[in-house]
Amino acid sequence: MKNITYLLENFDTKELSVLDKLLNTKENNIQQIEYQLGKILLPIGGWFLQEPLSYSKFLNKIASHNNITLSFENGPIEAEQNLFITLFKKEFDKMSESEKEEYFKKLQADGLDKSQISSLTAIATLGVAQASGFGIYLLASSTIATISSVLGIALPFALYTTVSSAISFIIGPVGFLVMGFAVYKSFKDVKNIDDVFDKFSLAYKTIKKGLFGDYETATICFKYIAAMRTIIPIKFENEIELEKNKVSVNLIQNEKTTLEINKNIQQINSSKEEITVHNNQIQELQTEISNLKNKNYNIQSNIKQIEEYNINLRKDININDNAINDSRTFIQKTSEKLEEFLIKTKNQE
């Protein structure tokens, strides 16, 4: 399954643990995950006699099982996204009118008016050709959150949903309800994690009888993989944005510190000029020598304190400069990694 190898390599430990639980594989063993996925839709005889399915055949089997015609004209990755959206739409369409009415009432109870509900539910009824990148992102985010929460795995969902403040409302609890409802619906009767695995094990029992592949677990794995393919680039972009923010904060702080240093230098220069004036006064007014010397002593002490303070401020600048360099290095590496990810996933067949 070469179309998911590089994707899985960019999962963190917790993200891989979702597939580990679904497929009953060893922790973080990508090869075993791919092998199980390639075999999961084969009948029991196929496990021993057939090679694992390619990712394209894996997608096609899930599509056929759901009476969906899948085109691979533009490659398996686009086919994956089309299948992901189409499955969601079919699940949403299966809701009865009473379920939809109950669902709409819940949205109104959460404080939405009818126009807002119409706007949100439109996302769930879009066709594949109409679905925007934002709509796919919402579906992916809620799918990951729903599946991981049912399995009891705490993924950093907050990171996935911090694309921008402009969409924070729809991505929040309301957006989660809309895009995650179909996934939630299939698990709503589950009382604990054992019940979840009881549901997942049903298809495996069928396999043991030599009848069908495990389409239930395979479909959940597929949804998770397709969702993560949408989410991974967002993760990289968020990490880059966080580091850029750190750079901005440090640059602003350096500017403030530099202004403070300049102000102190001006104060030092002003004080030095004042000393010169006082020394001239000492020459002219012998009677005031004692008083002026005492005044000079105090001013010089103040200069020393300011200079010592400036030394500490310069140390702070050095620390901030190091932080800036680290952040820029991280941004460069992460940007390269993002570019590599996008190129590789786009070109894979």
Hey, what are 111's tokens?
């404080």
C-alpha span between 276 and 123 (Å, rounded): 76
Q: What residue type is assigned to position 22 of the chain? A: L
C-alpha span between 186 and 177 (Å, rounded): 14
What one-character DSSP code corresponds to residue 176? H
C-alpha span between 327 and 246 (Å, rounded): 7
With 0-12 CB in 10 A as exposed, 13-18 as middle and 19+ as buried, what is 209? exposed
Q: Is the dihedral of CA 265, 269, 275, 281 positive or negative?
A: negative
How would you label 129-157 residue by residue, b for 16+ Cβ within 10 Å and e otherwise?
eebeeebbbbbbbbbbbbbbbbbeeebeb
The three-class DSSP label of residue 187 is coil
Hey, what are 204's tokens?
């495996």
What angle is formed at CA 137 by the lines to CA 39 and CA 73, rounded to 5 degrees? 55
Rg of the chain (C-alpha set)? 32
Q: Phi/psi of residue 326, each to 5°?
A: -60, -45
Low-confidence ranges of the chain (pLDDT < 70): 1, 44-49, 103-104, 106-135, 138-139, 156-212, 288, 348-349
Do 155 and 148 form a contact (C-beta atoms < 8 A)? yes
CA proximity to 182, closest of 225, 219, 208, 153: 219
The secondary structure of 95-155 as a DSSP string is: S-HHHHHHHHHHHHHTT--HHHHHHHHHHHT--TTT--HHHHHHHHHHHHHHHHHHTT---
Do 203 and 215 form a contact (C-beta atoms < 8 A)? yes
C-alpha span between 322 and 124 (Å, rounded): 47
Do 240 and 328 form a contact (C-beta atoms < 8 A)? no
Q: What pLDDT is attached to residue 63? A: 94
Do 25 and 217 form a contact (C-beta atoms < 8 A)? no
The answer, as to whether pTM is greater than 0.85, is: no
What angle is formed at CA 347 by the lines to CA 341 and CA 349, rounded to 5 degrees? 120
C-alpha span between 85 and 127 (Å, rounded): 8
Q: What pLDDT is attached to residue 133? A: 62
Q: What pLDDT is attached to residue 65? A: 93
C-alpha span between 263 and 11 (Å, rounded): 50
